[in-house]
C-alpha cells in the first residue's frame, strides 16, 4: 500500500497503517475493553493530522519517531528527552525544528497537554510505566516500546487504565508485524503446529553484558555527569544510583534495577508468536 492510499481518518483504528506503511513496527491498535470490544475513539478527519509528543528521542526512540513521521499522518509537536542536545538526540531535534523541547515529561504535559493527541514512548524499560500511565490518565493515546513495563503488576495497571480512559494503545514489537509472525500463524491455522505441551525459546547471540567479569559484586562507581543530562529525571521511579556511563544509552539493559536482561530485550520477540497463537 502506498502512503497516499492511507486515509488519515483511519490512523487510530486501522490495524495496518504503520505495519504496512512504515514496515518496521506494529500499528497503533484500537484500544480494547475488558470484554475485548473496541472502545469508541474519536476519529481524525480526512485532512487532520495527529499531534504526537515523543518521549525518548535517541536510539530506539529516534527510530520510532522517524517511522511515525514517514507515514505523513502526524505532526511532531513535542520532543522530550532527559539528554536533549547529546549526540544521540541531535538528529531528531534537527529533523523537527518546530517541536517544543522538554527534558521532563511532567513539564511537557503541564505545558501543552491540550495540544497533544498521542505519545510515543521509547525510553528505558523501568521508566515506561510512569510516562505511559500519566499520558493515559490525560486521555492520550500511547505507543510504548517493548517490554511494556517492568513488572506484571505495572502491565495490569496499564491495561486497566487504557480501558478506563478509552485510549488507543500499542506496545512496540517489530516482530509482531513481520513475516515470521504470519508464517507461524499460517502453520497453526493449517494444523501443522498443534498439541504443543512445552516450548524451548533461546537466542543465539550475545548481549552487551556477557563479556563482563562474571564476578561483579557491586554497581559501577559514580562518574561526572554529562552537561546535557538530567540524571534525576532519567532515574524516574528507579532506586537511586550515581551516574555512570554503564547505565546510559542502552547500558541500562545490563542491570535489573533498570532493565530486564535478555528476557525483556529479546524474550518479547522470541516468545511472541507462541504466546499469541498457542
Distance from C-alpha of 16 to C-alpha of 23, rounded to nearest angstrom: 10
pLDDT (tens digit, 9 = 90+) per residue, 82-110?
Answer: 999 999 999 999 999 999 999 999 999 99
Distance from C-alpha of 39 to C-alpha of 19, rounded to nearest angstrom: 21
> To which residue does cell 502506498 refer?
2
Task: Assess contact for 24 and 67: CB atoms under 8 A.
Answer: yes
Q: Is the pLDDT of residue 215 over 90?
A: no
Q: What is the rounded average pLDDT of the residues 38-56?
A: 79
For the chain, which domains are there? 3-39+46-177 (3.40.50.720)
Q: What is the rounded average pLDDT of the residues 32-61?
A: 75
Distance from C-alpha of 86 to C-alpha of 66, rounded to nearest angstrom: 18
Residue 154, number of CB atoms within 10 A of its CB: 19
Average pLDDT, the chain: 85
Give the rounded percent of residues in the chain with a pLDDT score beyond 90.
Answer: 68
Report in angstroms the alpha-carbon separations of 240 from 4, 131, 223, 257. Answer: 48, 18, 14, 9
Tell me, what DSSP letter sits at residue 25?
A: S
- Judged by average pLDDT, the poorest of 177-181, 196-200, 218-222 is 177-181
Please tell me the predicted confidence (pLDDT) of residue 186: 96
Residue 188, number of CB atoms within 10 A of its CB: 17
Residue 177, number of CB atoms within 10 A of its CB: 20
What the block records as the C-alpha cell of 140 is 492520550
Please tell me the predicted confidence (pLDDT) of residue 30: 36
Q: Is the pLDDT of residue 19 over 60?
A: no
Please tell me the predicted confidence (pLDDT) of residue 43: 67
Amino acid at each position: 500500500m502506498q502512503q497516499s492510499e492511507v486515509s488519515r481518518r483511519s490512523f487510530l483504528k486501522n490495524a495496518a497503517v504503520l505495519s504496512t506503511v512504515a514496515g518496521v513496527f506494529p500499528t497503533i491498535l484500537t484500544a480494547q475493553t475488558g470484554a475485548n470490544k473496541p472502545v469508541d475513539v474519536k476519529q481524525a478527519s480526512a485532512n487532520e493530522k495527529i499531534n504526537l509528543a515523543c518521549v525518548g528521542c535517541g536510539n530506539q526512540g529516534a527510530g520510532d519517531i522517524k517511522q511515525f513521521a514517514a507515514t505523513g499522518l502526524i505532526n511532531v509537536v513535542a520532543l522530550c528527552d532527559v539528554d536533549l542536545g547529546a549526540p544521540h538526540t541531535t538528529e531528531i531535534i534537527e529533523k523537527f525544528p518546530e517541536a517544543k523541547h522538554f527534558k521532563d515529561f511532567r513539564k511537557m504535559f503541564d505545558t501543552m497537554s491540550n495540544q497533544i493527541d498521542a505519545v510515543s514512548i521509547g525510553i528505558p524499560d523501568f521508566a515506561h510505566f510512569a510516562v505511559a500511565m500519566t499520558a493515559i490518565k490525560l486521555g492520550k493515546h500511547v505507543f510504548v516500546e517493548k517490554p511494556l513495563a517492568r513488572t506484571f503488576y505495572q502491565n495490569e495497571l496499564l491495561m486497566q487504565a487504557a480501558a478506563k480512559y478509552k485510549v488507543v494503545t500499542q506496545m512496540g514489537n517489530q516482530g509482531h508485524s513481520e513475516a515470521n509472525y504470519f508464517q507461524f500463524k499460517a502453520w497453526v491455522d493449517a494444523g501443522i503446529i498443534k498439541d504443543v505441551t512445552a516450548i524451548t525459546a533461546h537466542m543465539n547471540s550475545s548481549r552487551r553484558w556477557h563479556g563482563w567479569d562474571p564476578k561483579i559484586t557491586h554497581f559501577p562507581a559514580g562518574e561526572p555527569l554529562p552537561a546535557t543530562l538530567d540524571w534525576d529525571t532519567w532515574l524516574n521511579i528507579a532506586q537511586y544510583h550515581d551516574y555512570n556511563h554503564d547505565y546510559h544509552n542502552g547500558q541500562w539493559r545490563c542491570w535489573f534495577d533498570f532493565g530486564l536482561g535478555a528476557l525483556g530485550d529479546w524474550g518479547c520477540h522470541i516468545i511472541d508468536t507462541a504466546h499469541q497463537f498457542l
